Amino acid sequence: MRRGMSTCVISVDIIYQWQVGSFLFWFVLAMYFDNIIPNASGVRKPIFYFLTPGYWTGKGGNKMEEGSIFSCIGSVPPVEHVASEDQDVLEEETLVKQQAMDGIVDPNIAVQIHGLAKTYPGTTKLGCCKCTKTSPFHAVKGLWMNIAKDQLFCMLGPNGAGKTTSISCLTGINPITGGDALIYGDSVRSSVGMSNIRKMIGVCPQFDILWDALSSEEHLHLFASIKGLPPPSINSTAEKLLADVKLTGAAKVRAGSYSGGMKRRLSVAVALIGDPKLTTGMDPITRRHVWDIIQESKKGRAIILTTHSMEEADILSDRIGIMAKGRLRCIGTSIRLKSRFGTGFVATVSFTESKKDNSNASGDSHEPVKRFFNEHLKVEPADENKAFMTFVIPPRQRETAYGKDGF
Ligand SMILES: Nc1ncnc2c1ncn2[C@@H]1O[C@H](COP(=O)(O)OP(=O)(O)O)[C@@H](O)[C@H]1O
Ligand SMILES: [Mg+2]
């Protein structure tokens, strides 16, 4: 070795320090990018989220953002306010606004929706020196309503009305872009509020999210642990829920071999883990045994059900809201909506032929029925054949016959 040249020695200690240092560096960087890069639902934290005191103290509710981190900021237009033409919707809106202004928190209200709006940002493409963006879409344009405790609120509406979007905003899957919603007083806009909400909410999605290889008992154990139920209570909770949804016999059978109805019932059981105060997004297929479970589950919690089925809404709900194109179009009890918008009752009378004499029987029995409907309700048969006779009774006649409140 020549004189004057220093030797370059890298000790194992230095290598070790470098490895630990670079691990920490990449770990912090990964955590940072995990927070600021939008997740599958487009939700992300602000770029400087770690500078907000709320992030470290867990108080104050730092807000979530959405869209790409490189999106053209501020280009989402606000939803223009259009007053509803429906009297009931206007009354509901005025009531909720009044309560919000006065700061009234009615203990009988589970969910207060204050002008909830959701705009999906258009997609952004970064070209050479230019940012091209497809136009944003207003999926929910300002909902104002209260959802009461111990009741089932049914959200009806055609495809694309904004039902799923509203539910995913209430459950925190999608961040809301306007207004607010309070669930038992906690705001969905605040991350602290949202963590409280997650503890008292159960969601039953439109499609069963189940694992074929797990049995119903294992599903309930898994979800109960994720929800943070105390381990000693998990067994009894699972047993009770399995009995409620009539799956005790299939508790140890893998979900992959279940029928569609059994899978739906298991999804309902998963949504009811931990006795949530609010159960939402329930979208059961028209099956009577699921209806029974829902009727039973109403006690002690608020349920929001979204469906396409008028029959389901009629049977299960205490109150119905109908949405279209992102707005609430009408709201009220099933009887109220029927009396305002329904064509009336359809009464179908069926006739069975007499075995003794079938030559003239139908004609003979038809006449008194027709006379009865004509005298009492002033209606003629809308449809008539040998075996059936159908009468459409308009709401006006129904009121005459049964009093103003109907049945
Ligand atoms: N992630 C999304 N990005 C852009 N538009 C969306 C997204 N999700 C839903 N939409 C649009 O929002 C509208 C409301 O959708 P949705 O809430 O699913 O309606 P519903 O559940 O009442 O059928 C639809 O027109 C739909 O195309
Ligand atoms: Mg939907």
Mean of the per-residue pLDDT values of the chain: 81
Calculate how far, in angstroms, residue 80's C-alpha sits from the geometric centre of ligand 1.
19
pLDDT at position 58 is 58
The answer, yes or no, to whether any atom of ligand 1 lies below 6 A from the CB of 179, is: no
Comparing CA positions, the residue from 322, 321, 317, 337 lying closest to residue 150 is 317
Minimum-distance ligand 1 atom for the alpha carbon of 161? 22
pLDDT digits (tens, 9 = 90+) for 67-83: 555 554 445 566 777 77
The answer, yes or no, to whether any atom of ligand 1 lies below 6 A from the CB of 162, is: yes
Do the Cβ atoms of 22 and 9 come closer than 8 Å?
A: no
What residues are paired with 350 via a beta bridge?
A: 388
In terms of average pLDDT, the best of 28-42, 234-248, 267-281 is 234-248
Read out DSSP for 14-42?
HHHHHHHHHHHHHHHHHHHHHHHS--TTS
Minimum-distance ligand 1 atom for the alpha carbon of 157? 22
pLDDT at position 362 is 53
* CA–CA dist 157, 82 (Å, integer): 19
Please state which of the ranges 205-209, 264-268, 321-325 shows the lowest mean pLDDT.
205-209
3-state helix, strand, coil in the chain (%, to 5): 40, 20, 40
Provide the 10 A C-beta neighbour count for residue 1: 5
Do the Cβ atoms of 157 and 322 come closer than 8 Å?
A: yes
- Name the band, by pLDDT with cuts 50, 70 and 90, for residue 207: confident
* CA–CA dist 348, 6 (Å, integer): 106
Burial class from Cβ neighbours inside 10 Å (0-12, 13-18, 19+) for residue 371 reads exposed
The answer, yes or no, to whether any atom of ligand 1 lies below 6 A from the CB of 158, is: no
Do the Cβ atoms of 62 and 52 come closer than 8 Å?
A: yes
* CA–CA dist 137, 288 (Å, integer): 37
Using most ligand atoms within 8 A of CB, pick from 165, 173, 177 the residue to mutate for ligand 1. 165
Do the Cβ atoms of 113 and 179 come closer than 8 Å?
A: yes
* CA–CA dist 375, 367 (Å, integer): 12
- Residue 27 pLDDT exceeds 90: yes
- Name the band, by pLDDT with cuts 50, 70 and 90, for residue 404: very low
> How confident is the model over 306-321, as a mean pLDDT?
85
Calculate how far, in angstroms, residue 66's C-alpha sits from the geometric centre of ligand 2.
21
pLDDT at position 71 is 52
For ligand 1, atom 4, which residue shows the shortest CA distance?
Answer: 120
Read out DSSP for 130-145?
-EEEPPPEEEEEEEEE
pLDDT at position 69 is 57
* CA–CA dist 192, 183 (Å, integer): 13
Please state which of the ranges 27-41, 222-236, 250-264, 275-289 shows the lowest mean pLDDT.
275-289
**β-strands 319-324, 152-156: how paired?**
parallel
Determine which helix (DSSP H) or strand (DSSP E) holds 91, and give its type and residue range.
helix 87-102
Phi and psi torsions of 215, nearest 5°: -80, 170
Q: Which residue has the higher pLDDT, 317 or 105?
A: 317
For ligand 1, atom 2, which residue shows the shortest CA distance?
Answer: 120
- Compute CA distances 406 → 210, 335, 338, 392, whole Å: 44, 8, 10, 15
pLDDT at position 94 is 92
pLDDT at position 356 is 56
Q: Which two tokens stand for residue 291?
A: 């209806």
- 379 Cβ neighbours under 8 A, 6+ residues apart: 373, 391, 392, 393, 394, 397
pLDDT at position 8 is 77
The answer, yes or no, to whether any atom of ligand 1 lies below 6 A from the CB of 44, is: no
pLDDT digits (tens, 9 = 90+) for 82-100: 777 888 999 999 999 998 8
- Name the band, by pLDDT with cuts 50, 70 and 90, for residue 252: very high
- Name the band, by pLDDT with cuts 50, 70 and 90, for residue 407: very low
Do the Cβ atoms of 193 and 61 come closer than 8 Å?
A: yes
Looking at residue 254, the DSSP 8-state letter turns out to be B
Number of DSSP helices (H) and strands (E) in the chain, helices first: 13, 17
Give percent above pLDDT 70 in the chain.
Answer: 80
pLDDT digits (tens, 9 = 90+) for 328-384: 999 999 888 888 887 777 788 888 766 555 555 556 778 889 999 888 888 888 888
For ligand 1, atom 26, which residue shows the shortest CA distance?
Answer: 160
The answer, yes or no, to whether any atom of ligand 1 lies below 6 A from the CB of 381, is: no
Residue for token pair 């309503």? 145
Do the Cβ atoms of 146 and 109 come closer than 8 Å?
A: yes
> How confident is the model over 391-407, as a mean pLDDT?
57
> How confident is the model over 252-265, as a mean pLDDT?
89
- Name the band, by pLDDT with cuts 50, 70 and 90, for residue 150: confident
Calculate how far, in angstroms, residue 41's C-alpha sits from the geometric centre of ligand 1.
12
- Name the band, by pLDDT with cuts 50, 70 and 90, for residue 403: very low
- Residue 269 pLDDT exceeds 50: yes
Phi and psi torsions of 216, nearest 5°: -65, -35
- Name the band, by pLDDT with cuts 50, 70 and 90, for residue 140: very high
Read out DSSP for 182-227?
EETTEETTSHHHHHHHHHTEEE--SS----TTSBHHHHHHHHHHHT
Phi and psi torsions of 346, nearest 5°: -110, 115
